[in-house]
Amino acid sequence: MQYSEIVETYEKIEATSKRLEMTDYLVELLHRVPREIIDKVIYLTQGKLYPDYYGVELGLAEKMAIRALSMASGLSTKEIEEIYNKTGDLGKTTENVLTKRRTKTLTEFLNVKKEKEKLTVLEVYSTLERIAKATGPGAQDTKIKLLASLLRKASPKEGKYIMRTITGKLRLGIADMTIIDAMAIAYGKTKDAKPIIERAYNLTSDLGEVAKVLVEKGLDEVRRIKITVGRPIRPMLAERLSTAEEILEKLGGKCSAEYKYDGERIQAHKNGENITLYSRRLENITHHYPDICKIIVERVKAEKAIIEGECVAINPETGELLPFQELMHRRRKYGVEEAMEKYPTAFFPFDILYVDGEDFTVKPYLDRRKKLREIIEENDRIKISKSKIVDNTKDLEEFFLEAIEDGCEGLVCKSINLDSTYQAGARGWLWIKYKREYKSEMTDTVDLVVVGAFWGRGRRAGTYGALLMAAYDEETDTFKTICKVGSGFTDEDLKKLPEILKSYEMEHIHPRVDSKMEADVWFTPGLVLEIIGAEITLSPLHTCGLNKIKEGVGLAIRFPRFTGKIRDDKKPEDATTVKEIIEMYKGQLKKAA
Ligand code: AMP
């Protein structure tokens, strides 16, 4: 298969503002993909070479990519940088540069072109793979040469997407669910295909692999895909409500309330002495927590197990839980040992997904907790999340206050009914968050996605004055605007933001963004920022919660401010949801009443 065929599809996807058209183009593409390379085409379309958890990063530094482009085109890096400064997009710059090169030496170009074989998907993929994997002395040179050779063979349009892919910025804005939809339509045959594909994806976190099994062996084989230790499972997520009454009512009058620890979620895979830790985004974070690996080897009494829990920074002298920020010291490549001493942590397991050949995701909550207690030998550094079965609001409130006092964010209330299985990859009502902040005005932060920007004036001339922020709407898989935020940014943030946001820039509003406002600049939803506000109010300007409280109006955050925290651990789909905002608004009203 020629790479140009994929590029044509990407071009169409980029140009459309309609979600269904996006899916149609993908279906068309999938129909043409030979089965041997289906997994590779899926990864490429996701902007990667492997599933995330492999930890193979594309992200070649732009400076290096520009050097490769210079070698391939004959233009100097300075000339290329000038074009890049104007377009702000390395993909478009490449297209532009490769076109220029050709017009400059047309005869040479025609000669080359005659001999030239067209680039195949496989050739592009394997060269990108070699670039990503090159290590050791001389790796930089190797990477640049490989990329230059690829760009020499590429058409300008192909060059555009090769460059975006290798710098880790493909950003077509295609959600995994859209790819699953397209797979179900192209290969599924029956209408049950989608949930089966989705479940397989949730258990493997590897859409390429699922596609391969589907195409080569059929849907029945996809149904048989099982949990594998070492391969992360997509995490179950919680809904949110603002009062104890509502929570109890939703959970059938009785639930297990657990402390909501304020740390980093970890999915730990134990295979004998071999431990792998995954973050909430399923990145391999094993090397951040050698201490937790050790404690799991020592204290988890099973040969193979997959356990989920929260890792929290602690004061070892007092056993006190410390705020989330303290954990950030662990996010480093070097000096982890030293950080480990200075910033000790404890692990609070709250769920078990697999033990020695048995899939626990299909078992009810109480069975999973029983197993957890059976296989974990607790000590100061590993403790099963504190929990209590409650059946009345008074007990729930009391336990909630206790959790806050102990340094937690609140509670996660969990269903104890027979159907309380572990729903991988889903946000549902089996788990409900209850945080302190809903009791007061909006003192709780929300995580919102940057979808647009407005140019600044005065001191902010030449940079952004405000960002248009959106919440995630799960019902429609779109992003609904909720506020324009201009405060809370330091001068340094203001300088950094246009740089960070440049690669998300688009010429039109993204098809998944729903806005009544006209921004000066639009972005592919990608960057998540933590925002705090004074309160949530009705608003005729925003689309978040539109018509949900009152006809014709939506909800907005009043006096929003950036807290300084870029939530790079959250994908846009992990942002605060419209539903959550509506609940927060209702919670506020109740309090005021
Ligand atoms: P949020 O990040 O606000 O959506 O809240 C959900 C997160 O709470 C989960 O992803 C976990 O990282 C964290 N958490 C802390 N304690 C628990 C617990 N006992 N059960 C489930 N999640 C917990």
Q: Are 348 and 383 in contact (CB under 8 A)?
A: yes
83 and 151 in one domain?
Answer: yes
What H or E segment, with its residue span, contains residue 38? helix 38-45
Say yes or no: CB of residue 310 within 6 Å of ligand 1: yes
Q: The tokens of 6 are what?
A: 């994929």
State the Cα–Cα distance between residues 116 and 112, nearest whole angstrom.
6
Residue 192 included in any domain: no
Say yes or no: CB of residue 409 within 6 Å of ligand 1: no
452 and 412 in one domain?
Answer: no
Eight-state DSSP code of residue 52: G
pLDDT reported for residue 17 = 82
Q: Are 359 and 210 in contact (CB under 8 A)?
A: no
State the Cα–Cα distance between residues 381 and 293, nearest whole angstrom.
11
Q: Strand order in 264-271's β-sheet? A: 274-278, 264-271, 304-313, 345-355, 358-359
User: Which protein residue's CA is at the shortest distance from atom 8 of ligand 1?
Assistant: 260
Give the domain-ending residue among 118, 141, 166.
Answer: 166
Say yes or no: CB of residue 575 within 6 Å of ligand 1: no
Strand partners, 521: 453
Alpha carbon of 566 to ligand 1 centroid (Å): 18
Tell me the pairing of strands 237-240 and 427-435: parallel
Alpha carbon of 500 to ligand 1 centroid (Å): 28
Global pTM exceeds 0.85: no
Residue type, 240: R
User: Which residues are catalytically annotated?
Assistant: 260
Say yes or no: CB of residue 238 within 6 Å of ligand 1: yes
- Strands (E) in 391-463, as ranges, are 410-414, 427-435, 446-455
563 φ/ψ sector (left φ>0, alpha ψ -120 to 50, else beta): alpha
Burial bucket for residue 77 (CB in 10 Å: 0-12, 13-18, 19+): middle
> Mean pLDDT per segment of 10 residues, for the chain of length 593 residues?
96 91 96 96 96 87 96 94 92 94 56 66 97 92 96 95 94 90 90 93 97 96 97 96 94 97 96 97 92 97 98 77 78 76 91 97 98 96 97 90 78 97 94 70 86 83 89 96 89 85 94 95 96 83 91 84 90 96 84 60
123 and 52 in one domain?
Answer: yes
Say yes or no: CB of residue 350 within 6 Å of ligand 1: yes
What SS3 class is residue 207? Answer: helix
pLDDT reported for residue 462 = 78
Alpha carbon of 509 to ligand 1 centroid (Å): 33
> What are the CA-CA distances from residue 95 to residues 91, 102, 161, 387, 527 (Å)?
6, 11, 9, 57, 26
Residue 184 included in any domain: no
397 and 369 in one domain?
Answer: yes
What H or E segment, with its residue span, contains residue 562? strand 561-566
380 and 359 in one domain?
Answer: yes
pLDDT reported for residue 81 = 96
CATH number, domain containing residue 287: 3.30.470.30
Q: Are 84 and 66 in contact (CB under 8 A)?
A: yes
Residue 10 included in any domain: no
Alpha carbon of 106 to ligand 1 centroid (Å): 60
What SS3 class is residue 280? Answer: coil
Alpha carbon of 402 to ligand 1 centroid (Å): 17
> What are the CA-CA distances from residue 208 to residues 31, 213, 323, 424 (Å)?
15, 9, 38, 18
pLDDT reported for residue 440 = 40
Strand partners, 255: 390
Residue that the structure tokens 């050698």 belong to: 290
Q: Are 410 and 241 in contact (CB under 8 A)?
A: no
pLDDT reported for residue 319 = 66
Q: Are 134 and 143 in contact (CB under 8 A)?
A: yes
CATH number, domain containing residue 75: 1.10.3260.10
User: Which protein residue's CA is at the shortest distance from atom 17 of ligand 1?
Assistant: 260
pLDDT reported for residue 591 = 65
Residue 23 included in any domain: no
What SS3 class is residue 391? Answer: coil
Say yes or no: CB of residue 256 within 6 Å of ligand 1: no
Determine the structural domain holding residue 503 and report its residue range.
446-592
Residue 369 included in any domain: yes
Q: The tokens of 351 are what?
A: 């769920």
Give the domain-ending residue among 439, 463, 486.
Answer: 439
Instruction: Look at the chain and report how many structural domains it folds into.
Output: 3
State the Cα–Cα distance between residues 96 and 87, nearest whole angstrom.
10
